[in-house]
Amino acid sequence: MIEITKDTLLSDILEVAPESVPMFLAMGMHCLGCEAASGETLGEACEVHDVDANVFVPKLNEFIAAAKTQEA
């Protein structure tokens, strides 16, 4: 598993952790499949959607870690 940062591309996050989609949808990020989103960093996406990346990134990492633990 990778450590997600503000510099991680959305496409990379979705590739390694597709279970994270509900978190993005909950913050109003419904454009995950569009071309612009694939080259966008998590920090850029948070900025566009008025979400504090310093709060969201740790929550996302915790969510992904918990999901991966349940899979094991």
Segment 32-68, tens digit of pLDDT: 777 777 789 999 999 988 999 999 999 999 999 998 7
Strand partners, 9: 41
Confidence band (pLDDT; 50, 70, 90) for 28?
Answer: confident
| pLDDT for position 32 | 79
What's the rounded Cα separation, in Å, for the pair 37 and 17? 16
The residue assigned the tokens 């999901």 is: 67
Say what the pTM is: 0.85
* 32 in Cβ contact with 14 (< 8 Å): yes
What's the rounded Cα separation, in Å, for the pair 55 and 33? 23
